Structure 1
Amino acid sequence: MPRRGARRVTRIQEDAVKKTARIAAVAAIAALALTACGDREDNGDEGSDNNSPTATTTEESSPTDAGTQYTDFKACMVSDSGGFDDKSFNQTSHDGLEAAAEKYGVQTSEAESSDPSQFADNIQRLVDEGCNQITTVGFLLGDATEAAAKKAKNVDFAIVDFAYEKPPANLKGLTFNTAEPSFLAGYVAAAKSESGVVGTFGGLNIPTVTIFMTGFVQGVEYYNEENGAAVEVLGWDVEAGDGSFTNDFEDKTAGQSLAQTMIDNGADVIFPVAGPAGLGGLQAAQDADAWGIWVDTDGCVSAAEYCDSLLTSVVKGMDVAVEQAIVDSASGQFNNEVYTGTLENGGVSLAPYGPEADIDEELSGKVEELKQMIIDGEITVG
């Protein structure tokens, strides 16, 4: 299924890209530190040289005084399965821990989990090490984190991708409305599909995975309605709440097999939401000269070997949210109010388009329009 010209472009992948994104998001989250609703003034977006729908330019700022150091403070982290080098979920969260250490001098410790049975023991080990703050990474750690927070009341806890109706005073949820940028990605996928079929699959059928898939499907449906098209989505039925899953986040072969089945059934865009297993989906797309869309972080930075096959990536600012939670704890400003990253506050975004995506001004402008409509509440996603 041909989709690209012969000319191949290599994107410069410098740390500046990552730093700029983090700076912009830090500024947004800092404004939210003491509120649950996440409202702020919109500073506006300025497109990058490849018409990124969310690339922003802002003056450098940080969660607190850049000169402040917390060398006596110990921040720690427990991973979900997949480890801290998964090029996605755990790794992006871990970047926030590393940023806090680099900028503010906090001490750090960490525990990698390879199985859910290790969650409680890993958290307890870090409590016993004397950690002042512990971040757990992932929806599946919800119960273990709450139990630990209720027991170790002198430790501040933050958890990525989980929120509690009545959290303990020392437990903060860090959540992200990834349906919003996934909607934009779905619209782009439908617009770029030549076969009229696109596919998505997840690691597990859990809300923090399916929220991406639902937004993606809704974006495709919106494209169809606006353009009188009939682009089909394989892999997720929103109403039935069922679809295609690898049933873990580590098996790259399973991800590749699922994606290949979708490609064999006509899909020319693949949107995996499965951590390292999703890398198999990108491999299948690359091998078939199809498009891929990555999640959690900019795939052209974290999974650069697939960059030329990427349309874009759906980004969660987990690194910035984690860093902010650590600094809030170290500075005595910690609270248990849920943080939710949105397109409006910069906590979620669409990454710059891939170097071969060839997104024209009309489509780029439409994505910007849709983004603003979501922010303004004219389009409800999720």
Structure 2
Amino acid sequence: MTTRLLQALAAALVTVVAVVAAGCGGGGDGNAGGTTESTASSALKVGLVADAGELNDNGFNELAYNGLKRAERELGIQGRVVEANSAADYIPNMTSLARQGYDLIIGVGFAQGDAIAATAKRFPNTSFAIVDVDQSTLKGKPKNVQGLLFREQQVGYLVGYLAALEAKRAGAKSISAVGGFKEPPVDRYIAGYRAGAEAAVPGTKVRWGYSQDWEDQAKCKELALNQIAAGSKVVFQVAGGCGLGALSAAKDERVWGIGVDADQSFLGPYVLTSALKGVDSAVFLTIKSLQDGTFEGGKSVSFGIDQDGVGLGKVSPKANKADVAAVEKVEQKLADGEVPDIPTTLG
């Protein structure tokens, strides 16, 4: 992530002023899921709650894990990852961390919103953060929880703009997206994707579907293959590890694929670009704010393209240079606030 991104995210977090109470002590419960732990000399303890098997998804969860590991290296904190085998494990895992005296517990993803709200209510002296959930939407609006949000619709707009231009060069006006679940962050990506495509090439048809899974690549591959058979020339994956199957379908069928969250250009030149989200930096800087005494719950922090909170990944060398230049101009207009409001829902 760029220096400008780190500075911007740091500035956003440092503006928040509060005194963070230390996490409560006590005996620990058994964890419902597997754990990964490393020891550091600092007294600050941070727990990350993730889903089993998702720490190497080349995307969202791996970024959060990388942010925790960076905090271990650079801030000297003690970090622990607890992996949940199912949603039923979220509250037991969070409760266990709180009882073991963890100062900050971070939930990774929209699905953990209800669990973090319930646990935060039980442990008001422990700090919590939740990625991709607006704190104001949580039950009870707990004052010890901070939401970490991103304007996915902005980068969705950019990749949709480029996708429509490339599809037009292939003689088509059809692109598609494969989402995991119908959740606000996923739909913000896809809503922006559709709006960007329409702005670039009016009349472009955008298909999308949901795999109802974050892990099973076969499910996402099947969805993508169906979309390609219906004419899609570009497939945008918004489904975590499952979405790698959608990119595999794009490769097999010789159409463009677009990655999500992390830069997935390493998969090959068929990856047109990736819609980046700075989850790693947000996790790192949230931990740093706790260490600095500037963390505050009871609100959300939102990161957009003007702060490099979202942005384009590497663009394939096979992409048309004129199309790439056109998207770069749109990106600058977005950063300057010159693009009208982008939709955040699909209706």
TM-score of the aligned structures, taking structure 2 as reference length: 0.86
Q: What corresponds to 1:350 in structure 2?
A: 312
Q: How do 1:93-132 residues align onto structure 2 when only pairs under 5 Å count?
A: 93-132=64-103
The alpha carbon displacement at 1:85 in A equals: 1.4
CA distance in 2, matches of 1:87, 1:77: 17
Q: What corresponds to 2:131 in structure 1?
A: 160
| 2:282 pairs with 1:325 | no
The alpha carbon displacement at 1:294 in A equals: 0.5
CA distance in 1, matches of 2:305, 2:186: 18
Q: How do 1:11-22 residues align onto structure 2 when only pairs under 5 Å count?
A: 21-22=1-2
Which amino acid counterpart does residue 232 of structure 1 have in structure 2? K
Which amino acid counterpart does residue 145 of structure 2 have in structure 1? L
Q: What corresponds to 2:261 in structure 1?
A: 296
The alpha carbon displacement at 1:81 in A equals: 5.5
> Which of residues 337, 340, 359 in structure 1 aligns to 2:302?
340
CA distance in 1, matches of 2:152, 2:320: 22
Which amino acid counterpart does residue 246 of structure 2 have in structure 1? G
SS in 1 for 2:269: helix
Q: What corresponds to 2:183 in structure 1?
A: 206
- Asked if the contact 1:80/1:140 (under 8 Å) is kept, the reply is no
Q: What corresponds to 1:171 in structure 2?
A: 145
CA RMSD in angstroms comes to 1.7
CA distance in 2, matches of 1:370, 1:232: 21
The alpha carbon displacement at 1:374 in A equals: 2.3
CA distance in 1, matches of 2:182, 2:193: 15
Q: What corresponds to 1:370 in structure 2?
A: 330
- Asked if the contact 2:54/2:241 (under 8 Å) is kept, the reply is no
- Asked if the contact 1:82/1:276 (under 8 Å) is kept, the reply is no
CA distance in 2, matches of 1:22, 1:372: 16
Q: What corresponds to 2:195 in structure 1?
A: 218
Q: How do 1:11-90 residues align onto structure 2 when only pairs under 5 Å count?
A: 21-35=1-15, 71-80=42-51, 82-90=53-61
The alpha carbon displacement at 1:365 in A equals: 2.8
CA distance in 2, matches of 1:285, 1:347: 27
Tell me the alpha carbon deviations over residues 37-74 of structure 1, each in whole angstroms, 9 at most, x when there is no partner. xxxxxxxxxxxxxxxxxxxxxxxxxxxxxxxx971111
The alpha carbon displacement at 1:231 in A equals: 2.3
- Asked if the contact 1:71/1:106 (under 8 Å) is kept, the reply is yes
Divergent runs of 4+, >4 A:
none
Unmatched 5+ residue regions in structure 1? Answer: 1-20, 37-68, 236-243
The alpha carbon displacement at 1:171 in A equals: 0.8
The alpha carbon displacement at 1:82 in A equals: 4.8
Q: For this pair of structures, how many residues does the alignment match?
A: 312
Structure 1 377/34 Cα, relative in aligned 2: closer, same or farther at 3 Å?
farther
SS in 2 for 1:172: strand
Residue identity over aligned pairs, in percent, reads 31
CA distance in 1, matches of 2:313, 2:90: 31
| 2:284 pairs with 1:313 | no
CA distance in 2, matches of 1:234, 1:99: 38
Which amino acid counterpart does residue 139 of structure 1 have in structure 2? F
Moved more, 368-377 or 279-288: 368-377
Moved more, 333-342 or 97-106: 333-342
TM-score of the aligned structures, taking structure 1 as reference length: 0.78
| 2:66 pairs with 1:91 | no
SS in 1 for 2:305: coil
SS in 2 for 1:315: strand
Which amino acid counterpart does residue 87 of structure 2 have in structure 1? P
The alpha carbon displacement at 1:24 in A equals: 3.0
SS in 2 for 1:131: coil
The alpha carbon displacement at 1:192 in A equals: 0.6
